[in-house]
Structure 1
Amino acid sequence: MPAVPGNMYQQGNQPSCFDKMKYGFTIGFCVGMASGALFGGFSALRYGLRGRELVNNVGKVMLQGGGTFGTFMAIGTGLRC
């Protein structure tokens, strides 16, 4: 059985700075969405929201958290390029 190469990017085929920033934004967006779901969900439940109000509020907080954290991760990744 042939050996699987350990490095996805061979010599001379590394991702561009823009690609790294896209990866940073994607990872930051996912982390922000997860934290928004946790904190937004607990906050909405504490305020007594139920049903459609709960889903709308948690969804809004998730998108805001994901966008914010994703943007900062993309900026941080761009500074490292």
Structure 2
Amino acid sequence: MPVAAVPQHRGAQQPSCFDRMKLGFGIGFCVGMASGALFGGFGALRAGFRGRELIQHVGKTMIQGGGTFGTFMAIGTGIRC
């Protein structure tokens, strides 16, 4: 079933390709951080980290996962523009 077209207001524009890439990066970063928290937390606990070591390891894994997944999401969004 086709979707009905929504009338545009005067001056309303579609987001630019760069804006879409920024949004893709942001969404990918959040998803990557969530998966980094899960995998990094389980990995750190399995390795026997406690306290400060645990927090540092999980934080590093979250930032790495977020940056990686966010970059790939931004690239994928840019390809679709």
TM score, norm. by length of structure 1: 0.86
1:27-51 Cα distance to aligned partner (Å, 9 max, x none): 0000000000000000000000000
Residue type of the partner of 1:39? Answer: F
**Whole-Å separation in 2 of the counterparts to 1:69 and 1:62:** 11
Q: How big is the shift at 1:68?
A: 0.1
> Equivalent residue for 2:58?
58
Question: Which structure 2 residue ranges, 5 or more long, are not aligned?
Answer: 1-5
- Displaced runs of 4+ in structure 1, greater than 2 A? none
Question: Which structure 1 residue ranges, 5 or more long, are not aligned?
Answer: 1-6
- In the alignment of these two chains, the number of paired residues is 73
Residue type of the partner of 2:78? Answer: G
Q: Does 71-80 or 12-21 show the bigger shift?
A: 12-21
What aligned pairs does 1:1-80 form with structure 2 within 5 A after superposition? 10=8, 12-80=12-80
The percentage of aligned residue pairs carrying the same residue is 78
